[in-house]
Structure 1
Amino acid sequence: MPNTKRSFIVGDRYDAFIAQQIEEGRFNNASEVVRAGLRMLEDYETRLAEARALVDAADAEIAAGKGIEYATPKSLTEDIIKRGMVRLAQKD
């Protein structure tokens, strides 16, 4: 993929932030700072899409009657702890 040059106006706030990152030695230039920010945004968007897919799948299970009903918040908490302990034991 060829290097494409683009120009952006980031405003004083972000310009100062970019300069600070370079001054602190975290990055060598503004392009590195921007690329790091874009990688973080891409990761965030990927995780958000995954979370939304999990919510959609859970909603579909509930609509299909596959949900678990709990009589009290305490019983929900106890089940979560129990399931967590089982998962931890399986990792050993």
Structure 2
Amino acid sequence: MPSSFTLGSHFEGFIKRQVSSGRYASASEVIRDSLRLLEEQEEERAAKLEALRADIAYGAASGEGIPADEVFAEVEAMIDEIARKKAG
């Protein structure tokens, strides 16, 4: 199914340079390789987004959070207790 696209001078020049370098035999090969790369990136993006959504759902299901001030106070108390035991 032949198609026609307007890419603009920047991308047309890029494609010509890729073919001229010998890495690709034709402009079509450059476009196909580019689309494969884009497809891979989109699949990775979708997988990362799904993992992020799963992490958010896990966090939401884990219950209410604890304010950071409380956590830091507990940690400081634990450190103080350890220091007292070592000194004592």
TM-score (norm: length of structure 2): 0.71
Match for residue 56 of structure 2? 59
- After TM superposition, give the deviation of residue 9 of structure 1 in Å: 0.6
Map 1:1-92 to 2 at 5 A: 4-65=1-62
Runs of 4+ in 1 over 3 A off after TM superposition: 69-72
Whole-angstrom CA distance in 2 between matches of 1:40 and 1:25: 19
Q: Deviations over 1:29-87 (max 9, x none)?
A: 00000000000110011000000000000000000117xx8957xxxxxxxxxxxxxxx
Q: Spell out, residue by residue over 1:11-42, the C-alpha distance to the aligned partner (whole angstroms, 9 max, x if none).
A: 00000000000010010000000000000110
Distance 1:9 1:64 in 2: 49
Alignment size in residue pairs:
68
Structure whose alpha-carbon radius of gyration is higher: 2
Identify unmatched segments of 5+ residues in structure 1. 73-92
Q: Which has the higher helix share?
A: 2
